[in-house]
Amino acid sequence: MPSQTLDIASIAYPAWGMKAAEWSHYSVLRRRTWAEVHQAVSSVDQRLAIGGSWAANDFHLTRSGDSSLSDVDAVILQRDVASTRLHVERHITLGAGRNVLNLRVSVHGASYEDKLSLPDAHCMGVILMAQSSVAAESKLRRYLQCKSALSLLRSRPAERYGEVAARIGSETAVRMYGVKLGVVDTVEADQIRRELALAGSDLPLHDLAVKFLVGGFDRSALLQLLSYVDSHFHTVEWLRDYLAAKVLATLIRPGGSWYQTA
């Protein structure tokens, strides 16, 4: 299991209102859940390789370990017919009784994480902020806002959320990372906005992200975002189409509960 995320968080946990014993217990829950997810995905298809938060160990998991807002991103390897446009959704269930954890597995035909440019990574962050504007539940909305802000604050495409928080070092950045992990309930939108303003950004869509954060659902802003994705997101063509579909879903179903996890 990757240790980087827990190493960073092992310094930050007092700022999240956790005592040493609580953090130790939570760390055990994370390690156990991580192992169970990898085993469950392997049992679905041994050709699946996990990426994203469940590979980097910065997935979301509540303090009790009974809920997660993190999808499992997986790539299917050694396929007979190569198709980078493949996208399949499966679900896995961990645990039993009152401690059931249901997760959505998104299976892609090719990896993209090592191919993204920094503007592409930032663009994905803006899409997360757009999705937050239609999230029906406040917990999901704050999670998406914090995940988006940390993505927008990246200094390189592969920089993980904990690395962003550690580099910036502000109270707000550390709390946003706590929300991303699942140990902090909320960070106010105005605090997130100030953090983005302090860092500054050359991203053309930075103002759109703030608009989604502060103003909520905005049809014209979503159309502008869709146009940007279509005309600028060229690093991975199939991913551009996939993300454009996410923006369209946000555009046509404001206020819905279509977005289950992140």
Q: What is the CATH number of the domain that holds 39?
A: 3.30.460
Same domain, yes or no: 217 and 142: yes
Same domain, yes or no: 52 and 173: no
Total of domains in the chain: 2
Asked whether the beta carbons of 208 and 227 are under 8 A apart, the reply is no
Host domain of residue 78 = 4-108
Same domain, yes or no: 80 and 29: yes
pLDDT at residue number 78: 61
Tokens of 146: 């914090």
- pTM over cut 0.85: yes
Same domain, yes or no: 145 and 234: yes
Does 258 reside within a domain?
A: no
Query: Could you give the 3-state DSSP secondary structure of residue 143?
Result: helix
43, with CB counted inside 10 A (0-12, 13-18, 19+), is exposed
Same domain, yes or no: 165 and 192: yes
At which of 108, 141, 163 does a domain end?
Answer: 108
List the chain pLDDT tens, one digit each, 262 residues. 665 555 677 778 899 999 999 999 999 999 999 999 999 888 888 888 899 999 999 999 999 998 999 999 888 876 544 454 556 677 778 765 556 688 888 887 777 777 788 888 898 999 999 999 998 889 999 999 999 999 999 999 999 999 999 999 999 999 999 999 999 999 999 999 999 998 765 666 788 999 999 988 888 999 999 999 888 776 667 778 888 888 888 888 654 444 444 4
Same domain, yes or no: 243 and 177: yes
Helix (H) or strand (E) holding 85: none
At which of 48, 80, 108 does a domain end?
Answer: 108
Asked whether the beta carbons of 168 and 153 are under 8 A apart, the reply is yes
Which candidate, 177, 124, 167, places its Cα nearest to that of 6? 177
Does 159 reside within a domain?
A: yes
Separation between Cα atoms, residue 242 and residue 60, nearest integer Å: 23
Rg (CA), the chain: 18
In order of 214, 222, 229, the CA distances from 252 in angstroms are 20, 10, 17
Does 124 reside within a domain?
A: yes
Please report which residue ranges of 13-102 form alpha helices under DSSP H: 20-44, 53-56
Asked whether the beta carbons of 89 and 107 are under 8 A apart, the reply is yes
Does 54 reside within a domain?
A: yes
Separation between Cα atoms, residue 224 and residue 145, nearest integer Å: 19
> How are beta strands 72-76 and 48-51 bridged, if at all?
antiparallel
Asked whether the beta carbons of 64 and 12 are under 8 A apart, the reply is no
Work out the angle at residue 197's Cα, subtended by the Cα atoms of residues 116 and 186, and round it to the nearest 5 degrees: 85
Same domain, yes or no: 19 and 75: yes
Same domain, yes or no: 163 and 223: yes
Same domain, yes or no: 138 and 236: yes
Does 210 reside within a domain?
A: yes
Distance of CA 75 to the CA centre of its chain: 17
Separation between Cα atoms, residue 31 and residue 35, nearest integer Å: 6
Same domain, yes or no: 128 and 219: yes
Does 262 reside within a domain?
A: no
How many residues would you count in the chain?
A: 262
At which of 108, 136, 156 does a domain end?
Answer: 108
Does 101 reside within a domain?
A: yes
In order of 52, 131, 182, the CA distances from 141 in angstroms are 20, 8, 13
Same domain, yes or no: 47 and 168: no
Does 224 reside within a domain?
A: yes
Work out the angle at residue 68's Cα, subtended by the Cα atoms of residues 64 and 74, and round it to the nearest 5 degrees: 140
Amino acid of residue 92: I
Which candidate, 77, 34, 26, places its Cα nearest to that of 55? 34
pLDDT at residue number 143: 97
Asked whether the beta carbons of 35 and 2 are under 8 A apart, the reply is no
Same domain, yes or no: 155 and 210: yes
